[in-house]
A and B are shown apart, each in its own frame.
Chain A
Amino acid sequence: MRERLLGGAALARVEGEGAVHVRLRDGRVEDVRLRIFEPPRFFEAFLRGRRFDEVPDITARICGICPVAYQMSACAAMEDACGVQVGDEIRRLRRLLYCGEWIESHVLHVFFLHAPDLLGYDSAFDMARDHRGLVERALALKKAGNALVRAIGGREIHPINVRVGGFHRAPRPAELADAARQLAGARAFAHEMVGWTASLPFPDVEEDFTFVALREPDAYAIEGGRMASSGGLDLAPREFDAHVVEEHVPHSTALHARLRDEGRYAVGPLARYALGGAGLGPGAARAARDAGLEPLVRNPFRSIVVRCAEVLHAVDEALQLIAAYAPPDPPAVDVVPRAGVGCGWTEAPRGLLWHRYEIDAQGTIRDARIVPPTSQNQARIEESVRRTVERHVALGDDELRDRCEHAVRSYDPCISCATHFLRLEVDRG
């Protein structure tokens, strides 16, 4: 069986890198593999022997785009290990911080990674030349998210103010005023983008999904919740690894995740919207309705519309939280380490992010497990790529590569959480 490597172009506009291999025979798809060459679990190994209170600083650097998500999940898991519950005020401040990250991460993806695909541009900067006003407003909206992260986190990237138990310092209300002003100024644009993205030309595709997301009774789940699935699961963090099986597949050093009873699944905006869409704030819900967003979105490319609805939700929620803000005093609860295991999760922009730590009585980390959203999505992304190849098998390799890249990008994979290098290989025998 002759294997022909066609091109070797890196998969562009995906955070980090990964590889897609397709094998075709007589015009039929024989095999599709998403190969993620992750330096295997280096961060988990790196955490062993470190102190329990170092997890926010270290895990923040697993992902340059969602450091807050890693800090929040790490704190949840470590606080569980130490038997600590933070109060409502700290929890709300965490949620506010997280809103900032959702905004900046989603806006980056929508405008600089995904929209160019849907508008037929090779790159975000080609798009920027033709849609300069749009890109400038997107940058301003992203900047508002960054400003919020900086105001609470103490720095725009890799917040230094987060600690296990809460924050080193609670910002004074006046310190949130600039972020509030920027968010208010960008709100109209965030609203317009729900309708604008809904009007983009999408591949006409419907897929079946098993979705997994956190859910909360009276809110759109971000910084906590119980895990729900399409098949009716309702779990606490410690039950995650009884229901989620992670398996090594030969072609990837990342692990494929599946639900024991429901098989491969997807996390992220589509999952959150499907399982908890009723929790969207009234402004975002109305914008979604007006844009004709269906209650259950089964076209992976339409994730861009859901992301915009989530951005609008995060803007509105952030403004409400800022208006009602009372600095938690003290800014953190005391956390005394004890020997044991803790689990915790939150909804990163890309989906459910679960951490598990085992620590000893001195607070030294004995074991760490981190399951990022993108690795949970890997099997499901492969499925979408397979369907994409089946639809476009008659196309030349360059066009086929483009379609596969679009399909992968629609999941907003943060492959830097799980990999190192991506290229497309098409083997037509």
Chain B
Amino acid sequence: MTLVIGVGNRWRGDDAAGLVVARRLGGLEHEGDATTLVDAWRAGDDVVIVDAASSGAPPGTVRRFDALAAPLPAAHLRSSTHAFGVPDAVELARALGRLPATLRVIAIEGAGFTAGDRLSDAVAGAVDAVVAELARGAAAHARDASTTSRNAP
């Protein structure tokens, strides 16, 4: 069972992207500072974090990262209005030995992050695609997980 965590700010335009994904999948909506992400999962969990990104890519671009394999590109995931974001939270968890069994990060490129409660069209479309991907994902995730080393439950 995968824990989907959406990170963002619902009143900052496309910064809500991750929250919308999590809401539609019944996952955890996480607004505010990322230090508490470390407490959001347990050691054996399979976790997917969804966040908005600001890297200069075309709005709506979706990128996927395996956060256990390598540090996240911090420059891309500075979408949140706070510098202590998802990449820092993941590195903190790594430094404390508190990463989950698997940790994927899905980044959706935003068009705008100014005050407002609507997603841009490009991001709304990307959100639909990510929701569908994650909803279908149990079988695909099991295939991925079988190639990832993990402790026996």
Q: Which residues of A contact B (CB under 8 A)?
A: 10-17, 39, 42-43, 45-46, 58, 61, 64-65, 67, 104, 108, 112-113, 123-126, 128-129, 132, 135-136, 139, 142-143, 146, 156-158, 416, 420
* Known A-B contacts A108-B35, A132-B96; A64 and B9 likewise in contact (beta carbons under 8 Å): yes
Given A10-B78, A61-B31, are A15 and B84 also a contact pair (CB < 8 Å)? yes
Tell me the minimal C-beta distance from B94 to chain A in angstroms.
Answer: 7
B31 close to A158 (CB less than 8 A): yes
Q: List 15 A-B contacts (CB under 8 A).
A: A13-B84, A15-B82, A46-B116, A61-B11, A64-B80, A65-B32, A65-B33, A104-B33, A112-B92, A128-B95, A139-B35, A139-B38, A156-B32, A158-B31, A158-B32
The answer to whether A65 and B82 touch across the interface, beta carbons within 8 angstroms, is yes
- The 0/1 profile, CB within 8 Å of A marked 1, for residues 1-12 of chain B is 000000001111
A34 to chain B, nearest CB (A): 16
CA distance A250 to B108 in the complex (A): 34
Residues of A near B32 (CB, < 8 A) are: 64-65, 67, 156-158
**Given A61-B10, A64-B81: A143 and B36 interface contact (C-beta under 8 Å):** yes
CA A13 to CA B33, docked complex, whole Å: 12
In the bound complex, residues from chain B placing their C-beta under 8 Å from that of A61 are 9-12, 31
Residues in A with CB closer than 8 Å to B31 are 61, 64, 157-158
Please encode chain B, from 56 to 76, with 1 for each CB lying within 8 Å of some chain A CB and 0 for all others. 000000000000000000000
Q: Which residues in A have their C-beta under 8 angstroms from that of B94?
A: 125
A416 cross-chain contacts in B, Cβ below 8 A: 81-82
- B30: chain A residues at CB < 8 Å are 157
- Closest chain-A Cβ to B37's Cβ sits at a distance in Å of 11
Assembly CA distance A67 to B32 (angstroms): 9
B91 on the A face (CB < 8 A):
yes
CB <8 Å contact, A39 and B115? yes
Residue of A nearest to B91 (CB): A125
B115 touches A16 (CB 8 A): no
